[in-house]
Structure 1
Amino acid sequence: MNALQQGWVFCADGYGWLQRLTANGVLGTDGLCVDLSQLSGPPTSAGPWADHLGADGWYRDVPAAMVNELAALHGGIVDALSSHAELGPL
């Protein structure tokens, strides 16, 4: 699936991840969700993150609340580098 937006997110302690927003993430019934990959380390102990881990290493359809909690554990988001929107076939 094409990403509507993709970019790197960095926290105060240097922790970071690649994040993408897809059409499913915008249109989902549980609110905004994103996919995460290339994390600087495990997001947290197993818990709910394990339910989102795909075989390709992406954490798929992660609710925004979980991403916010992850960022808070690492001192909050201090920088992000984002791509332009890609409006190809969904």
Structure 2
Amino acid sequence: RSNADPNSPQAQSTGSGDGWLLRDGKIVGITWDRQFEALKWSFYDDDTGELVNLDYGRTWVALAKLGEASLLTPVEAALLSD
């Protein structure tokens, strides 16, 4: 459980892992990396290995339980908005 909120799980924010970046109408597979809490996060494009820079402004992060995240097809996503 989180020290900040006992109703929330403790998030792992150091180390590295897989993720998705949703930007400009596209989904990019990424690997995130942050070895120490004092360092900034780095994001690398899975296809090119290049560093991905985030645009200025708000950035939202959604954390899912390991193995419980999935991407929806456009049809599945459209059904959610009906």
Give the TM-score normalised by the residue count of structure 2: 0.34
Q: Radius of gyration: which is bigger?
A: 2
Considering fraction of residues, name the structure with more helix: 1
